[in-house]
């Protein structure tokens, strides 16, 4: 028994060391401008200050976060609408063609954004899409994350028993009817968790937004944060408060859905 | 006509349609840019010819130009170091942590899941936090290290050309460990307990058991995790943007960031395409190995 609690204590220590940067972000966000540069640094703020409102208005976080939400929402919508059906078919039918499609999807999953952005920028520019910079980012990012969505949701569909679907067809449902009223509801959890994952990833998207959106009022929170972190910036309290406001909702969603996210990820990456 | 609609409601048409929509999207927004990229790498593309559909072809000139750049070799070497060190360190740390959390103690899976908090945060924010931790004058890392007596003078982690790359590697390892750890945990959990028990009864030591049971039985997972590690490491861009912008003097630059700089800061888009084409070729080769190995495992 003592051994178990010893191990637990050790585990907490390892985790604390690992998560120290996150702790440091929150602590710095609570410090005053002078305390930040105190030597030795304080590991607990002497005079905690909540600067959320001040940073929120000074750094125009409402604009940036709204853009991030719009982009992430658009991406998730496109991906869920187009990807779910594809994931389902890839889970149900195995033949040479579908194997080929699956292989292609897996290949497209690995294309790095930073390398794809050059042709995307030029092509979007020629098509006139850059007139709508946020839409451009949504379209590009949806293509980036759709393969991951398909792979993860396909793993969920694999677990839905084929018999249920066959029973529905025997009962006179059409394929579309069976798909929308039986299969998708049964795979609901997997679809939701994967959509959350896609949303969170797109909420923190940077490369496409940085390269495709030049107008400040349309940029998302990552690009905004980057622009405040110039080489000579010393407003670390501001930057860390900004970061804390930005990631706290992400971390809350993550802790709530931790178990589902972990199992969803592992089933998709290895199958 | 009725037959036509029926096939979409019930037959092969339904499947083809569902796959076709998603695949069509991916072809337009992923496969087409891929091909376009290849085309541009043989063209002279700059700010003036950017919107033109009739750009001059220059043959292998862009490739020759890239090969003649003096920064090519240092950046290549940086990329190799960035990927190699990151993947090895992420894998070994991830493996060690996964094995530790495989032990039986209260809350082990819950605590293990919390590691992913680092992975779920936007990489740019992670970069911002690390650039504050690593700051030369007031950074907390320098303070802790000098308190421990490990360093005498402050190290300028991000502006010293000798260490800048390693600082980014360090942050990247931090970012990648949780994902490696979670994937390896799945593999570890799949090894049946009685194999270990049998080996223990035969008198195998802990170390022997690790090398004769754990490692061989984890072969498939290790292959997948290493290839995924290479793939994700080559996708890393945000940390470079947040920490050093490839500097000072390209000392922490890598191909994926250089390609972007060429295209978006120097407007030498053709040259950016060349790097991009070569790197994407490499990534696809790695992905090919990964997909082949995991598919094979699944079917057998």
Query: Which sequence spans correspond to the domains of chain B?
Result: 72-299
Give yes or no: residues A188 and A223 share one domain.
Answer: yes
Which CATH number does the domain housing residue A100 bear? Answer: 1.10.3720.10
Residue B298 pLDDT > 60, yes or no?
A: no
Q: Which two tokens stand for residue B168?
A: 């980014």
Question: Distance between CA A210 and CA A226 in Å, rounded?
Answer: 9
Which is it for the CA torsion B80, B118, B113, B100, positive or negative? positive
Q: Which two tokens stand for residue B170?
A: 């360090």
Question: Distance between CA B156 and CA B158 in Å, rounded?
Answer: 6
- The count of domains in chain A is 2
Residue B5 pLDDT > 70, yes or no?
A: no
B145 interface with A at CB cutoff 8 Å: no
To the nearest whole Å, the CA of B160 is away from the closest chain A CA by: 14
Give yes or no: residues A197 and A90 share one domain.
Answer: yes
Q: Which of A11, A206, A211 lies closest to B101 in CB terms?
A: A11
Question: Distance between CA B155 and CA B134 in Å, rounded?
Answer: 9
Helix (H, G, I), strand (E, B) or coil at B228: helix
User: Between the CA of residue A257 and those of A254, B116, B186, B219, B236, what are the distances in Å?
Assistant: 5, 12, 18, 30, 25
Give yes or no: residues A17 and A129 share one domain.
Answer: no
B272 interface with A at CB cutoff 8 Å: yes
Question: Which residues of chain A have a pLDDT value below 50?
Answer: 271
CB–CB of B146/A39 below 8 Å? no
Kindly tell me the burial class for residue A52, based on how many C-beta atoms sit within 10 Å of its own C-beta (0-12, 13-18, 19 or more): middle
Nearest Cα to B167, choosing from B81, B76, B57, B80? B81
CB–CB of B268/B209 below 8 Å? no
For the residues B222-232, what does the mean pLDDT come to?
Answer: 87
Give the per-residue pLDDT at B9.
Answer: 57
To the nearest whole Å, the CA of B24 is away from the closest chain A CA by: 10
**Residue A161 lies inside a defined structural domain of this protein:** yes
* Residue corresponding to tokens 């035969």: B202
Give yes or no: residues A148 and A82 share one domain.
Answer: yes
Q: Which two tokens stand for residue A97?
A: 């063609």
**Residue A144 lies inside a defined structural domain of this protein:** yes
| Closest residue of chain A to B29, computed from CA coordinates | A143
| Closest residue of chain A to B140, computed from CA coordinates | A41
Question: Distance between CA B186 and CA B190 in Å, rounded?
Answer: 6
Give yes or no: residues A165 and A216 share one domain.
Answer: yes
Supply the DSSP symbol for A41.
Answer: P
List CB contacts (< 8 A) between A145 and chain B.
none
Q: Which two tokens stand for residue B145?
A: 């290290």
CB contact under 8 A, A15 and B183: no
Nearest Cα to B113, choosing from A175, A99, A114, A265? A265
Q: Which of B9, B125, B260 lies closest to A247 in CB terms?
A: B125
List CB contacts (< 8 A) between B122 and chain A.
203-206, 222, 246-247, 250
Torsion of CA B91, B225, B175, B235, to 10 degrees: 130
To the nearest whole Å, the CA of B126 is away from the closest chain A CA by: 8
Question: Distance between CA B180 and CA B222 in Å, rounded?
Answer: 9
Residues 147-176 of B with CB under 8 A from A: 147, 174
In DSSP terms, B43 is beta-bridged to: B57
The model's pLDDT over A90-136, given as tens digits with 9 standing for 90+, comes to 988 888 888 888 888 888 888 999 999 999 999 999 888 989 999 99
List CB contacts (< 8 A) between B49 and chain A.
none
Q: Which of B15, B101, B260 lies closest to A89 in CB terms?
A: B15
Percent of chain B whose predicted confidence (pLDDT) is above 70: 94
**Per-residue confidence at B2, pLDDT binned at 50, 70, 90?**
low
CB contact under 8 A, A203 and B122: yes
- Which residues does A139 contact at the CB level (< 8 Å), separation at least 6? A78, A129, B29
Enclosing domain of residue A219: 63-269
Give the per-residue pLDDT at B300.
Answer: 36
Give yes or no: residues A14 and A142 share one domain.
Answer: no
CB–CB of A80/A69 below 8 Å? no
Give yes or no: residues A85 and A107 share one domain.
Answer: yes
| Closest residue of chain A to B127, computed from CA coordinates | A226
- Our CA angle for B103, A14, B139, nearest 5°, is 165
The model's pLDDT over B102-160, given as tens digits with 9 standing for 90+, comes to 888 888 888 888 898 888 999 999 999 999 999 878 888 988 898 888 888 888 888 88
CB contact under 8 A, B284 and A207: no
**Furthest-apart CA pair in chain B: how many Å?**
83
Interface test with A, best of B31, B89, B116, B117 (most A CBs within 10 A): B117
**Residue A213 lies inside a defined structural domain of this protein:** yes
CB contact under 8 A, A150 and B101: no
The model's pLDDT over B159-200, given as tens digits with 9 standing for 90+, comes to 888 899 999 999 999 999 998 998 888 888 888 888 888 888
Question: Distance between CA B212 and CA B201 in Å, rounded?
Answer: 14
| Closest residue of chain A to B173, computed from CA coordinates | A18
Give the per-residue pLDDT at B159.
Answer: 86
B275 interface with A at CB cutoff 8 Å: yes
Q: A133-158 and A236-269 are packed helices; what angle lies between their axes, rounded to 10 degrees?
A: 40
The torsion angles phi and psi of B43, rounded to 5 degrees, stand at: -115, 160
* CATH class of the region B72-299: mainly alpha
| Closest residue of chain A to B267, computed from CA coordinates | A118
**Residue A57 lies inside a defined structural domain of this protein:** no
**Residue A235 lies inside a defined structural domain of this protein:** yes
Q: Which two tokens stand for residue B156?
A: 């300028």
Question: Distance between CA A225 and CA A21 in Å, rounded?
Answer: 17
| Closest residue of chain A to B265, computed from CA coordinates | A211
Q: Which two tokens stand for residue B77?
A: 């070497």
CB–CB of B175/B154 below 8 Å? no
List CB contacts (< 8 A) between B241 and chain A.
206, 210, 226
- Which residues does A167 contact at the CB level (< 8 Å), separation at least 6? none
User: Between the CA of residue A126 and those of A130, A194, B51, B120, what are the distances in Å?
Assistant: 8, 33, 5, 35
User: Between the CA of residue B7 and those of A81, A165, A174, A176, what are the distances in Å?
Assistant: 21, 18, 11, 11
Give yes or no: residues A114 and A242 share one domain.
Answer: yes
Give yes or no: residues A35 and A68 share one domain.
Answer: no
To the nearest whole Å, the CA of B212 is away from the closest chain A CA by: 23
Give yes or no: residues A70 and A36 share one domain.
Answer: no
**Residue A198 lies inside a defined structural domain of this protein:** yes
Give yes or no: residues A123 and A200 share one domain.
Answer: yes
Determine the length of chain A: 271
CB contact under 8 A, B117 and A222: no
Give the per-residue pLDDT at B149.
Answer: 86
Q: Is the peptide bond before A40 cis (omega within 30 degrees of 0)?
A: yes
Looking at chain B, list the stretches that DSSP marks H as alpha helix, in order from N- to C-terminal side.
Answer: 2-10, 12-26, 32-40, 61-68, 72-102, 108-114, 116-120, 123-133, 140-147, 164-189, 193-201, 206-209, 215-217, 219-235, 238-243, 255-264, 269-299
Give yes or no: residues A91 and A208 share one domain.
Answer: yes
**Residue A56 lies inside a defined structural domain of this protein:** no
B282 interface with A at CB cutoff 8 Å: no
List CB contacts (< 8 A) between A15 and chain B.
111, 114-115
**Residue A255 lies inside a defined structural domain of this protein:** yes
CB–CB of B235/B86 below 8 Å? no
Nearest Cα to B45, choosing from B62, B24, B69? B62
The model's pLDDT over B63-112, given as tens digits with 9 standing for 90+, comes to 998 888 988 999 999 999 999 999 999 999 999 999 999 888 888 888 88
CB contact under 8 A, A24 and B132: yes
B40 interface with A at CB cutoff 8 Å: yes
Supply the DSSP symbol for B43.
Answer: B
Residue B299 pLDDT > 50, yes or no?
A: no
């Amino acid at each position: 028994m003592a051994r178990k609690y010893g191990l637990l204590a050790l585990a907490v220590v390892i985790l604390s060391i690992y998560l120290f940067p996150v702790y440091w972000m929150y602590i710095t966000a609570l410090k005053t401008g002078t305390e930040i540069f105190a030597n030795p640094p304080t590991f607990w703020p002497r005079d905690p200050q909540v600067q959320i409102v001040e940073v929120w208005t000074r750094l125009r976080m409402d604009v940036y976060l709204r853009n991030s939400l719009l982009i992430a929402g658009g991406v998730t919508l496109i991906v869920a609408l187009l990807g779910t059906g594809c994931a389902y078919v890839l889970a149900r039918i195995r033949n040479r063609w579908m194997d080929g499609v699956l292989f292609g999807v897996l290949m497209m999953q690995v294309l790095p954004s930073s390398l794809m952005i050059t042709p995307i920028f030029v092509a979007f520019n020629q098509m006139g899409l850059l007139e709508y910079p946020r839409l451009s980012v949504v379209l590009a990012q949806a293509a980036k994350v759709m393969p991951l969505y398909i792979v993860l949701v396909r793993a969920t569909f694999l677990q839905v028993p084929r018999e249920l679907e066959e029973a529905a067809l025997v009962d006179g449902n059409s394929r579309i009817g069976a798909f929308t009223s039986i299969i998708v509801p049964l795979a609901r959890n997997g679809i939701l968790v994967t959509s959350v994952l896609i949303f969170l990833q797109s909420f923190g998207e940077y490369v496409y937004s940085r390269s495709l959106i030049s107008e400040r009022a349309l940029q998302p929170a990552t690009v905004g944060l980057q622009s405040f972190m110039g080489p000579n910036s010393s407003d670390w309290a501001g930057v860390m408060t900004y970061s804390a406001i930005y990631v706290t909702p992400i971390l809350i969603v993550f802790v709530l859905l931790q178990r589902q996210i972990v199992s969803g990820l592992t089933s998709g990456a290895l199958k | 006509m009725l037959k036509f609609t029926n096939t979409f409601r019930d037959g092969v048409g339904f499947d083809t349609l569902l796959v076709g929509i998603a695949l069509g999207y991916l072809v337009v927004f992923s496969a087409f840019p891929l091909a376009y990229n290849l085309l541009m790498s043989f063209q002279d593309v700059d700010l003036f010819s950017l919107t033109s559909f009739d750009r001059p072809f220059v043959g292998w000139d862009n490739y020759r130009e890239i090969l003649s750049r003096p920064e090519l070799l240092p950046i290549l070497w940086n990329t190799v170091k960035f990927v190699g060190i990151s993947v090895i360190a992420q894998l070994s740390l991830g493996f060690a942590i996964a094995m530790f959390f495989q032990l039986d103690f209260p809350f082990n899976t819950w605590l293990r899941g919390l590691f992913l908090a680092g992975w779920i945060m936007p990489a740019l924010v992670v970069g911002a936090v690390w650039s504050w931790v690593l700051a030369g004058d007031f950074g907390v890392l320098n303070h802790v290290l000098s308190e421990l007596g490990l360093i005498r003078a402050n190290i300028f982690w991000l502006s010293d050309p000798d260490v800048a790359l390693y600082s980014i590697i360090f942050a990247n390892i931090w970012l990648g460990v949780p994902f490696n750890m979670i994937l390896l945990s799945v593999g570890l959990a799949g090894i049946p307990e009685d194999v270990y028990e049998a080996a223990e009864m035969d008198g195998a030591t802990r170390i022997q058991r690790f090398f004769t049971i754990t490692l061989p039985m984890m072969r498939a997972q290790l292959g997948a995790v290493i290839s995924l590690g290479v793939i994700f490491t080559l996708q890393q861009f945000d940390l470079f943007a947040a920490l050093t912008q490839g500097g000072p003097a390209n000392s922490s630059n890598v191909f994926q960031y250089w390609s972007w700089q060429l295209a978006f800061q120097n407007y030498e888009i053709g040259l950016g395409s060349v790097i991009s084409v070569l790197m994407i070729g490499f990534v696809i080769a790695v992905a090919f190995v990964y997909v082949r190995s995991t598919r094979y495992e699944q079917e057998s």
